[in-house]
Amino acid sequence: GFSGLIVDLRGNPGGLLSATVQAADEFLDSGTILIEVDAAGSRTTHVARKGSTVPDIPIVVLQDQSSASGSEVLAAALRDNGRATIVGTRSFGKGTVNQIQPLTGCGDPDGCGALYLSVGRWLAPGGEQIEGLGVVPDILVEMTFDEYVEQGDLQMFAAIDELRSQQ
């Protein structure tokens, strides 16, 4: 019985790639979710499967400068596949694939620490790089803390207005 959906990814630091792909797949029946490029340049394309569980209703994604990693991938996947409009500010720009490599051989049974290595990049469905650039919103709505206190959540208001304009 609802007529639109707002997905609020503001302040979302992302998460596991598998969870991001699964979430995007709930909204998409087809299309590319993301492209993963490894250090050798090999590409793996993650594609939506038929049978999304969310009806074909208007979606607005809210994002801000603290939306990172998986949340950026989700926002770009929904927008680039024609399922959502993004409202807010440019996202953080964290589109790397990382692995933890334990350091051993120091004689300590608990290990010597670890290296956090970037071993690839995530690209938006259209091939745009996310790392260092972020995802640019369709509707830019900047909001300071003072504006939020004095006028309310201007980004949420803009998202609601956008949903209303799509009906």
Catalytic sites, residue numbers: 69, 80, 94
Give which of 35, 54, 22, 14 is closest to 122, Cα–Cα: 35
Q: Hey, what are 59's tokens?
A: 């979606």
- Tell me the C-alpha distance between 66 and 58, whole Å: 24
115: enclosing H helix or E strand: strand 114-123
Q: Hey, what are 144's tokens?
A: 């300071």
* 123, 133 contact by CB (below 8 A): no
Q: Which amino acid is at 149?
A: V
